Amino acid sequence: MIRTVIIEDEKPAARKLQRLLSIFTDLQVVAVVNSVEEGVLWFSDNPAPDLIFSDIVLGDGLSFDIFEKVPTKSFIIYTTAFDQYTLKAFKLNSIDYLLKPIMEEDLQNAIDKYKSFLPSEQVNNIQEIKSLVKNDKQRLSRILVKIGYNLKIISTDETACFYSENKMVYAQTSERAFPTDFTLDELQEVLESEKFFRVNRQFIINLNAIKNIHTSPYFKVELHHQPNEEITVSRDRVKDFKEWLVK
């Protein structure tokens, strides 16, 4: 039996997830946790479950806070309305990341993925399992940015490039450049490599945003929407860049 804990501060969402999980006869929900405070107490006083379904934004903080105070070896499937926290989620034993509203098919796929990582003759320890998880990461499809007191969701497909300026990383769209909470190194880990390429230390560009490529006297990329700054391809990246263009 797969012992499972749900971390969710919205009771209707928790009840819905319990109903969805009830169809899996080999899975048992042993606890429903509603807050960071409650989670710290529960994980401190109980044996670690096999699997955790966890919302990220709770009423008194982020669920990450629970696992930073009480480290767990349990695998985690995150459930949330935003994928702003994808990178951090995958650093904390995450094997999947479900965006709300959760669909039964997506839930089934996530549980099947968890089962595929269970120990077998080929996978004998937690380090090997985590290695498999790391190589099966989902990719960032949209980000959440703050504009004054408002929040805006931006699709990465609509982002012409990400660039750094004055120690801040911006997402450039047709509308404007939006400040993000990422570093370029972090974005490089979670963006789809088929669509995005880091041409130099300052820019990651979107393949579909390329308007023109100049090759003389050096490689320079012109985007349909870009900051008021020239985008050049580093000399040591030119070969990889040309290969990426025709993948």
Binned at pLDDT 50, 70 and 90, residue 102 comes out as: confident
The per-residue pLDDT for range 19-31, each reduced to its tens digit, is: 999 999 999 999 9
- The per-residue DSSP string of 149-218 comes to TEEEEEEGGG--EEEEETTEEEEE-SS-EEE-S--HHHHHHHS-TTTEEE-SSSEEEEGGGEEEEE-SSS
CATH of region 2-134: 3.40.50.2300
Whether 101 has a pLDDT exceeding 90, the answer reads no
Sign of CA dihedral 229, 224, 143, 87: negative
How far is the C-alpha of 239 from the C-alpha of 204, rounded, in Å? 16
**Where would I find the H helices in 7-60?**
11-21, 36-45
- Least reliable range by pLDDT among 113-122, 166-175, 196-205, 206-215: 113-122
Examine residue 49 and say whether the peptide bond preceding it is cis (omega within 30 degrees of 0).
no
Who's near 71: CB < 8 A, 6+ residues apart?
none
Give the H or E element holding residue 244.
Answer: helix 238-245
* Per-residue confidence (pLDDT) for residue 56, from 0 to 100: 84
The per-residue pLDDT for range 33-43, each reduced to its tens digit, is: 999 999 999 99
- Which residue would you say has higher pLDDT here, 100 or 44? 44
* Per-residue confidence (pLDDT) for residue 126, from 0 to 100: 40
- Which residue would you say has higher pLDDT here, 27 or 120? 27
Specify the length of the chain in residues: 247
Q: Give residue limits of the domains in the chain.
A: 2-134, 158-245
Q: Is the pTM of this model over 0.95?
A: no
Q: How far apart are the first and last CA of the chain?
A: 44
Binned at pLDDT 50, 70 and 90, residue 180 comes out as: confident
How far is the C-alpha of 134 from the C-alpha of 58, rounded, in Å? 26
Token pair listed for 149: 């007191």
The class (CATH top level) of 158-245 is mainly beta
Binned at pLDDT 50, 70 and 90, residue 68 comes out as: confident
Binned at pLDDT 50, 70 and 90, residue 151 comes out as: confident
Name the average pLDDT for the chain: 85
